[in-house]
Amino acid sequence: MVGDHAVAEAVKLARVNVISAYPITPQTLIVERLSEMVERGELKADFIRVESEFSALASVYGAAAAGARAFTATSSHGLFYMYEMLWWAAASRLPLVMAVVTRTLGPPWNIHDEHTDILAIRDSGWIIGMASDVQEVFDMTLTAFKLSEDERVLLPVAIGLDGFILSHTTEPLYIPSQEDVDSWLPPRNPKVPYVIEPGGEPVTLGNLPRMDVYHELHRAYMDEAMDKAKNVLHEVYSEYGKLTGRYYEPLVECYRCSDAKYVAVTMGAWSGDAKVAVDELRDGGYPVGLIRIRYIRPFPDEELATYINGVRGIVVFDRDYSAGFGGVLAGELMGLVPSNVSFKGVIAGLGGVDVSPSDFRDVIVNFINDVERDGYLRVRKWWYIPSVNGGD
Amino acid sequence: MSSVSSKYVKYILSKPMMGAGGKTGTWRVHRPVIDAEKCIKCGLCWLYCPENAIDWLEDKTVAVDYDYCKGCGICSDVCPVRAITMVKEGVI
Amino acid sequence: MVTINELHKYGRTKLIMPGTAACPGCPLQLGMRYLAMALDGKFAMVIPAGCSSVIPGTAPYTAFTVPTMHVPFASSPAVASGLRRALRIRGVDGPVVVWAGDGASADIGFASLSGAAYRNEDIIYILADNEAYMNTGIQASGTTPPKAWTTTSPRGKTEGRKDVSLIMIMHNVPYVATASIAYPMDFIDKVRRAASIRGFKFIHLHAPCPPGWKFPDNYTVRVARLAVETGMWILWEYNQGKLTISPPSIPYKDKGKRKPIEEYLKLQGRFSHLTKEDIEEIKAGVDRQWDLILKLTEIYR
């Protein structure tokens, strides 16, 4: 099944009540498959054909406020069109799940993969996870509902999948049965945290606070929920493992990193290529490992600190770019890296440029050689751009 | 912080209450004074009071809630028999 | 039509609590009282950014006694769509009402409004029109009348008026009406009729604003009434294919019965700079609008 269809399968199994999404390449297959499922009666949900992404998120937000389980999906420009609503939805503390099929931003128009879009919402209050293969796309989408609706969390969850690389690529997929999912994921409790219904409790959301400090406290409560979300992630994935037999390290995956002297850090689908490079390098005698970030929000500082401990050098691969700064992940991680440990932030794969295992291998080897030769290296941003054939 | 708070505190939800915008009677410059003799108990002042500060009682007389009346004067303007006069606050 | 005696039962009911942050003489508060009485206080409200976001006072308190969502400016029709559909799925009944200003409806939220209307979402959408972006300090909006003073059109607005209610008819929705806060019985009737229909219902409520239009606080109802009596605001109702002039406006089908436009304009400081030519243009505009509406009553009979 392709990644987009895996998302749709998870949404169906989660018995989502309201779906609203505006088509944008490469998310379109999600929207189309979900419409089919609804029209065929496989999924008893309301599919709202909205006129924009802003309205897509606004309508699932309304549905969540009414106590339903709701879902939307988008990419790059669509995600940015709903930017205002993203923040409003998160601070309203309503459970929601959104799939973000990552894609570059224009100009120029480009439908290929880049992580800049999903990372650009990292301040909004959404929990953000990124999958690295189609099975994980399915698993992360399904667990997102359990996570988002947990009373200790009550924050919306965005699950990223690389555009075309995962969304349109077929991989084998194991799917639990509806009975199994029902036993683990009960219907949403509409009263949690509150519900807007005619004749119901006369609760009002969102009017101005009497004192500004209420606002500040509210954000502090959100932060608390983000912290608790880490524990809830551990619980959810542990239960999910028992249910399906597939266990994941919840926040960060450590691939051959426990005895590594050098680690690469990646997020998303190209982690697979990076793992191939790690294996090749290990065969060649290099003590290398990979840290794969699964959830960038809540920021997994404890796990990262643990895996970085004792390492001689870290090279972070960013498939994104924060203009005037460098790679986002490099920026976020650098603060965790002790000052005597070497660090290099590599920007690669922007615009959907293919980064193969040999590319990863070359970059990591060069980094290791530089560190071994000079004893220390600290580069926050370094561009890895392949040369263009026959050009300048 | 981590002790469980009521959902009204945690998510800044609001409950209905009189005077949610304050004791707005203090805004007044003029106050409506109703001449009970002239009043024909039509209820129009109650109907047109934006603040909902006039009560139209069971016996169809009206009473102004001066805690919240802002003194806009619409009641005086719509009264068909001019039974309501707007008197400057502080004038006896 | 509902009578004032029937409303007497709400004589002491505070469906909208007093002590709000609204300006004295605010028509929006008044309109909301009528809405609440029309629906007997059993509905849910979605309110986009505007005066009505501020009127209810500060959290943790509100003047509104019904479940309410304050939402971003452009999002109210979409939020209400999702809300209504989810409630239906859960088996919860009751009207979902959007109470939006002219900014949120005619301008920034226009796409969302059009989307919700064309999908025939089962909501009641009330455009409480005070003819400018009042909450941010009287800036011109799509429904500000031509030649009106606002802070962004200090010499008088040069653009015309976006006729949102007629645009709603073109979306093939079952119910569209205009109303005025000076005619509460007509408005309440329309809200109740709307609530009895499934599908998208749109009511355009005329709401004269004292600070925005520059008239004294006590003239709100008087100005709104003059708008209808001069023919500048036409009360009509489009109900499932039939467009009729509402009873309060019927006398003014006859141009001779309409009060002189000057009576309406001279009360408002926002029109104090008008020349004789301006006023003639405005009169011509009123005639044209009546002509159009009357022709539409022929087409939609």
Q: What is the pLDDT of residues B69-86, one digit of tens each?
A: 999 999 999 999 999 999
Which residue is closest to C44 within chain A, CA to CA? A198
* Neighbouring chains to A with at least 3 Cβ pairs closer than 8 Å: B, C
Q: Which residues of A touch B16 (CB under 8 A)?
A: 202, 204
C-beta atoms of A51 and C66 within 8 A: no
The b-or-e profile of A304-341 (16+ CB within 10 A means b, else e) is beebbeebbbbbbbbbbbbeeebbbbbbbbbebbeeeb
Which whole-number Å values give the CA distances from A54 to A72, A118, A243, C197, in the listed order? Answer: 11, 16, 36, 28
Cα separation, A30 vs A13, whole angstroms: 14
In this complex, do A221 and B5 lie within 8 Å of one another by their Cβ atoms?
yes
**A207 neighbourhood in chain C, CB within 8 Å:** 53-54, 56-59, 62, 70
DSSP three-state, residue A222? helix
Question: Is A54 within 8 Å of C78 when comparing Cβ atoms?
Answer: yes
Minimum-distance CB partner of C65 among B16, B22, B46: B16
**CATH 3.30.43.10, applies to C4-299:** no
First to last CA, chain B: 53
What residues does each domain of chain B span?
19-88
Reply yes or no on whether the pLDDT at B92 is more than 90. no
- Pick the residue from chain A with its C-alpha nearest to B17: A202
**pLDDT given at position B91:** 67
Query: Above pLDDT 70, what percent of chain C?
Result: 100
Of the pLDDT bands very low, low, confident and very high (cuts 50, 70, 90), residue C225 is very high
CA distance C63 to chain A (A): 10
Buried b (16+ CB within 10 A) or exposed e, C146-164: ebbbbeebeebbeeebbeb
C3 touches chain A (CB under 8 A): no
Sign of CA dihedral A117, A123, A128, A133: positive
Give me the pLDDT at residue B9, please. 86
* C87 contact residues in A (CB cutoff 8 A): 66-67, 197-198
The residues, ordered by sequence, that sit 6+ positions from B27 with a Cβ below 8 Å of its Cβ are B70, B71, C24
Q: Does C111 touch chain A (CB under 8 A)?
A: yes
Q: How far is B88 from chain C (nearest CA, A)?
A: 14
For A252-383, give the CATH class.
Answer: alpha beta
Is pLDDT above 80 for C232?
A: yes
Do strands A252-255 and A288-293 pair parallel, antiparallel, or not at all (unpaired)?
A: antiparallel
Domain boundaries, chain C: 4-299
Judge whether residue B2 has pLDDT over 50.
no
Whether residue C17 and residue B58 make contact (CB cut-off 8 A), yes or no, is no
pLDDT at B90: 83
Which residue among C42, C68, C85 places its CB closest to the CB of A18?
Answer: C85
Please indicate if any CB of chain C lies within 8 Å of the CB of A26: no
pLDDT confidence bin for B5, thresholds 50/70/90: low
| Cβ–Cβ contact B55 with C under 8 A | yes
Q: Out of C33, C58, C184, whose CB is closest to B52?
A: C33
Asked whether the predicted pLDDT for residue B3 surpasses 70, the reply is no
Nearest chain C residue (CA) to B75: C218
Decide: C64 and C56 in contact? Cβ < 8 Å. Answer: yes
Mutate to test the interface with B, among A203, A212, A218 (most CBs of B within 10 A): A203
C-alpha span between A306 and A258 (Å, rounded): 9
Do B11 and A202 lie within an 8 Å CB cutoff? no
The phi, psi pair for A48, rounded to 5°, reads -100, 120
For residue A314, give how far its alpha carbon lies from the nearest alpha carbon of chain C (Å).
Answer: 43
Q: Is the dihedral of CA A21, A293, A167, A134 positive or negative?
A: negative
Which chain C positions have a beta carbon within 8 Å of B27's beta carbon?
Answer: 24
A51 touches chain C (CB under 8 A): yes
Mean pLDDT of C258-277: 97
CB spacing of A66 vs C92 below 8 angstroms: yes
Cβ–Cβ contact C67 with A under 8 A: yes
CA distance C92 to chain A (A): 7
Distance from CA of A384 to the nearest CA of B (A): 45
List pLDDT tens digits, range C4-60: 999 999 999 999 999 999 999 999 999 999 999 999 999 999 999 999 999 999 999
For C43: left if phi > 0, alpha if psi spans -120 to 50, otherwise beta; the answer is: beta
- On chain B, the residues whose CB falls within 8 A of the CB of C63 are 16-17, 20-21
Return the beta strands (E) in chain B as ranges: 13-16, 30-34, 54-56, 62-64, 84-88
Return the CATH number of A3-244, one of 3.40.50.450, 3.50.30.10, 3.90.550.10, 3.40.50.970. Answer: 3.40.50.970
Which residue is closest to A67 within chain C, CA to CA? C86
Q: What is the pLDDT of residues C82-130, one digit of tens each?
A: 999 999 999 999 999 999 999 999 999 999 999 999 999 999 999 999 9
Q: What residue spans define the domains of chain A?
A: 3-244, 252-383
At C83 the pLDDT is 98
The string of pLDDT tens digits covering residues A200-222 is 999 999 999 999 999 999 999 99
Cβ of residue B6 closer than 8 Å to a chain A Cβ: no
Handedness of CA A67, A70, A76, A77 (dihedral sign): negative
DSSP state letter for C129: E
Residues of chain A falling short of pLDDT 70 = 389-392
ipTM associated with this complex: 0.95
pTM of the shown model: 0.95
- What topology is assigned to B19-88 in CATH? Alpha-Beta Plaits (3.30.70)
Cβ contact A344:A312 at 8 Å: no
Q: Give the model's confidence band at B41: pLDDT under 50 very low, under 70 low, under 90 confident, else very high.
A: very high
- pLDDT tens-digit map of C158-186: 999 999 999 999 999 999 999 999 999 99
Scanning B15-34 for CB atoms below 8 A from A yields 15-16
Contact A265, A329 (CB under 8 A): yes
C-alpha distances in angstroms, C235 versus A247, B9, C207, C225, C248?
A: 66, 44, 13, 11, 7
